[in-house]
Chains A and B, each alone.
Chain A
């Protein structure tokens, strides 16, 4: 389509809906948050329209940087754990045939028919000292004292792994699906063994799917706040908890907005690095259509 035809053709309705939605639900709220981050909180908790950069300066205090690095670190470990579990799942799903594959995909997503908070409470009742897992292990004498999982960082990791896994499996699965089986056969014909075929043919062809899947879980984990509260016992804050507290407890909306702004910048940098790194420009969305 050349530039001339775009100026004369009316914008299609679908595009208007799309652009309107993006404007109302993404762009406008972001602008409000951005604008608010330059304001000030009055002693009684209202907004004062005195523009300044203090909130951003404040967010570079040691305490907030510490929370930021901890959040990134935990999200990173949890993403790697998701990969460790999710990759074999995706690999096996992609290679299975017929009803097995359909059933596998359905089973992967069935938990998501239940509300997120309910699933977290489900984990609470499983993982506690008097929870199902510990009680079964105690009953059969496998352990003598309950294993502390709930309200520890391990509990947080389990919650993250459980809730985000499918978002990583699907992009990897769909890039494996698209991998032409003839490529593997050609590799074998040319004398490569299974490991060589995997590392030199499969991995290079699906690495973008792996990367995108990892981003799909890593990015929302950075903003997580329910899991650290309910499974971590509200003892260790993620950046999301600090943000939510600024809005709902401390009533410091400008500072909360500044943290939200910085988090958005962090996400944009991650996405920008991803586009730089991948061979084709733009975020490849092939994982999304599954």
Chain B
């Protein structure tokens, strides 16, 4: 055996032992919660408070889409203790047993949650998830440039726009199809291939008239590159705050409602601490600060009662009952999904 080989062997053994020591040390040190979240979601001060009060350290990492989170977890990323999937992703992860069953006795603050959000179609009884925020998808309009029709805003204003190359659609297959299906007076969860094919043809014609597909139309709205945007309510509210002419509408045919949730992956090693984290953010004081930062709607009835009159009555955040009735959750399309995927690829090619 040459000297060099011995050197290499020593280096390799050294690396292996140090990593083993590191792993052992990590197990015995005080618990650290690894939270996968969306950017700009938790105010830093509240996270610091949580660590001070409980001694549990928190490490945040960010995702930009549900699919990214799904891919990370499925690819075997372990070590996440809290994840924040949206409604449809909860359904999918639950079906694959990727989420751990919640121990509701560890979540006393759950009683602050509005009844409606205790029994959502994708996870009745909060078996694996707790809704934390909710919002809607609709249309933002620059009212200085576009006149609001007297008979109300319809999806046709966006989809049959008379403002060529000044509109944007969300870069999200289900959302775009939902808009066209609403326009055709169909459910956004239609799984009938004939209706979907027809919608595809319509989108194909619209495609040349929209400026772009993007899930972040806010900067373009503010720069007035676009005047009508398919948009998430949270972005629309922020755009409105910077330019009051930009107004958000749920079209009269209907819109999409979505939730962001807390859930614990089944691979988590710190389930007890993860429950403490969820309970902490169900606490109205902490939830209030978070909701004010994110411009989303809260499912927490105590928090809602603490909001100012203006905040509570902001129709862009909390649609009035007659509009709320027209909001739909996106549901699993099951066997139809691959066909829809194929249509989306054809539309984008």
Contact call A251/B349, Cβ cutoff below 8 A: no
Contact code string B184-217 (vs A, CB < 8 Å = 1, else 0) = 0000000000000000000000010011111000
Contact call B211/A249, Cβ cutoff below 8 A: no
Stretch at the interface among B67-75, B250-258, B282-290: B67-75
A16→B74 CA distance, assembly (Å): 33
Name the contact of B212 in the complex, choosing from A130, A235, A237 (C-beta under 8 A). Answer: A235
B335 within 8 A of A: yes
Q: Interface residue tally of chain A, by bracket? A: 20 to 34
Contact call B341/A148, Cβ cutoff below 8 A: no
- Chain A residues whose C-beta falls within 8 Å of the C-beta of B71 in the assembled complex: 247-248, 251
Show 13 residue pairs from A and B whose CB-CB distance is below 8 angstroms, ordered by the A residue.
A43-B334, A43-B337, A44-B95, A63-B346, A70-B349, A130-B224, A151-B212, A234-B213, A234-B348, A241-B348, A245-B345, A248-B68, A249-B341
Closest to B70 in A: A251
A24 within 8 A of B: no
A263 within 8 A of B: no
- Judged by DSSP, the binding face of B is helix
Contact call B65/A248, Cβ cutoff below 8 A: yes
Count of chain B residues with a beta carbon within 8 Å of a chain A beta carbon: 37
B268 within 8 A of A: no
- Chain B residues whose C-beta falls within 8 Å of the C-beta of A236 in the assembled complex: 348-349
A45→B67 CA distance, assembly (Å): 11
Contact call A235/B70, Cβ cutoff below 8 A: no
Name the contact of B211 in the complex, choosing from A12, A46, A151 (C-beta under 8 A). Answer: A151
Contact call A242/B165, Cβ cutoff below 8 A: no
A233 within 8 A of B: yes
B267 within 8 A of A: no
A237→B213 CA distance, assembly (Å): 12
B225 within 8 A of A: yes
Contact call B171/A234, Cβ cutoff below 8 A: yes
A147 within 8 A of B: no
Contact call A67/B8, Cβ cutoff below 8 A: no
B4 within 8 A of A: yes
Given contacts A45-B70, A248-B67, contact A233 B214 (CB under 8 A): yes
Contact code string B1-25 (vs A, CB < 8 Å = 1, else 0) = 0101101100000000000000000
Which residue, of A10, A235, A245, has the highest number of chain B Cβ atoms within 10 A?
A235
Name the contact of A46 in the complex, choosing from B68, B96, B171, B214 (C-beta under 8 A). Answer: B96
Name the contact of A235 in the complex, choosing from B67, B173, B207 (C-beta under 8 A). Answer: B207
Name the contact of B348 in the complex, choosing from A13, A45, A151, A237 (C-beta under 8 A). Answer: A237
Measured CB to CB, the closest approach of chain B to A201, in angstroms, equals 46
- Chain B residues whose C-beta falls within 8 Å of the C-beta of A208 in the assembled complex: none
A8→B245 CA distance, assembly (Å): 79
A248→B89 CA distance, assembly (Å): 13
A128 within 8 A of B: yes
- Chain B residues whose C-beta falls within 8 Å of the C-beta of A45 in the assembled complex: 70, 74, 92, 96
B223 within 8 A of A: yes
Given contacts A43-B335, A44-B95, A248-B67, contact A129 B349 (CB under 8 A): no
- Chain A residues whose C-beta falls within 8 Å of the C-beta of B213 in the assembled complex: 233-235
